Amino acid sequence: MAISLSPESHYWRCMCVRCQHARLDTILDGDHAYAHNTHAIVDVVRHVLDGGGRRESLLSWRAKCSLALDIHDDIRSTMVNWTRPPLLKAWAESGALLR
């Protein structure tokens, strides 16, 4: 498990309302996983939809995806066989949606 290789890394901590900065490996049952997923999705939606219209929301989504790419690349630089989600790059480069 990647967490065991660098347990103190901030990448393994979740800031959602349910987890409150706990490490992801503390999600041990279905109820906790469901609550974590729900709160994490709500956090992303709130971030993307706050602050304007369609263009601003798309720019916010691209920024979130670009940050996620950077995080995956950072983790990959220290971990063997770390792969980032294949569609993440497409989302980060979704500039055509802004036209």
Q: Is the pLDDT of residue 7 over 60?
A: yes
Give which of 43, 57, 63 is closest to 98, Cα–Cα. 57
pLDDT of residue 95: 60
* Mean confidence (pLDDT) of the chain: 87
Of 10-14, 43-47, 78-82, 88-92, the range with the highest mean pLDDT is 10-14
